[in-house]
Amino acid sequence: MLLTVLAVASLFSTLAAAHPSSGRAAPTAAPAAPQPTVRTTLARSSAAAPQSTTSPDWQPRRFTVVGTGDVLLHQGLWQQARVDGHGRGMDFRPLFAGIKPIIAGADLAICHMETPLGRPGGPFTGYPVFQVPPQVVPALKDTGFDSCSTASNHSLDAGLDGIRRTLDALDAAGLAHTGTARSPQERATTTLLTVAGVRVGQLSYAFGFNGIPRPKGKEWAANLIKPATILADARTAKQRGAEIVIVSLHWGTEYQHAATAEQASIARTLLASPDIDLILGHHAHVVQPFEQIGGEWVAYGHGNLVSTQSFSADTRDGVISRFTFAESAPGQFHVVVAEALPVYMRLGSGAARILLVSSCVRGKGSTAAECAASGRRTTKVIRSRRATVLIA
């Protein structure tokens, strides 16, 4: 996938007066209202130009988006990356190789970068306060990801410096991002991705930051889940040109498969808005259900994408969500296919790898049996709210 990023001054400064609650034109405690900006991103070199809604030659557009679980690096994974680097530093690409065909094959692929990055030479730390190797970012790009959500309960683990390092590394790799910011101007930015000719807005928020307060006067550094703010931001994204808005939420209860009443309530509130089209959930470290609400979709929790959480079988299960959007009339999009692709984190029976269940079940030995059991667990959870989801 080809990804180019351009930040340009917005022509929509009047939106600040119309939507003061969005936090974009006037971040909390900012000395002056920053001018909103739009970060535009081109995903895939084959993307067509947006269709005019008045063209007599209108052709319906269609694209796929994949969401994945937490990129949660623990020491065992960067030790594995050193082994895979064969004396040339860390190489995380083999860790993700098993899912690359799915990620690279999507029109838009979104990762969830749960933890802040450290300096290239370290020191690196894991749970409970993370600073992880930035060498993972080029591997995410190589795997085919286009963008990452960055708001999580660990966003402030390394302070503002950690946020800056993380976003600098994503920028250097050509990965778009949303959820944390280096300045009030960046918080006032809308991330727009042009995907197969469709402009997609991306937003990201977290329930909290493990008791670490956002710096006074710099609350813009990390996005907190507040439905009114999310709705205002989504409305702004649509007014700035987004045809689809995808919201990533770091929420729920850790190690609990069932969506909480709060998750369900927030999902209903957000998806009732015409400005939000899809919710991708994270945080629980186990898979949570998919649900269709009023024709829109929420994937409550993708589990872990990569981690070394091996204290239960469930924490090694994950899912890649894949949603196909199709245009039914000029500018009107709907999900026409919802798919779940179970994945399994192999630990202890070979090199640490994230495996696509549909592939690893065809192998031999204990890993194949583990993958089959993982797929059954994930399928049961995904459909537990009676959603019609294809399991791929």
CB 162, CB 124: distance < 8 Å: no
pLDDT digits (tens, 9 = 90+) for 229-287: 999 999 999 999 999 999 999 999 999 999 999 999 999 999 999 999 999 999 999 99
pLDDT digits (tens, 9 = 90+) for 33-91: 344 456 666 554 333 334 444 467 889 999 999 999 999 999 999 999 999 999 999 99
pLDDT digits (tens, 9 = 90+) for 201-242: 999 999 999 999 999 999 999 999 999 999 999 999 999 999
Domain locations along the chain: 14-50+57-391
CB 288, CB 300: distance < 8 Å: yes
d(CA 187, CA 265): 26
Q: Indicate whether 136 pLDDT > 70.
A: yes
pLDDT at 39: 66
Q: What is the DSSP letter of 302?
A: B
d(CA 188, CA 157): 23
- Our CA dihedral for 235, 167, 343, 320, rounded to 10 degrees, sits at 20
Domain 14-50+57-391 has CATH 3.30.360.10: no
pLDDT at 41: 62
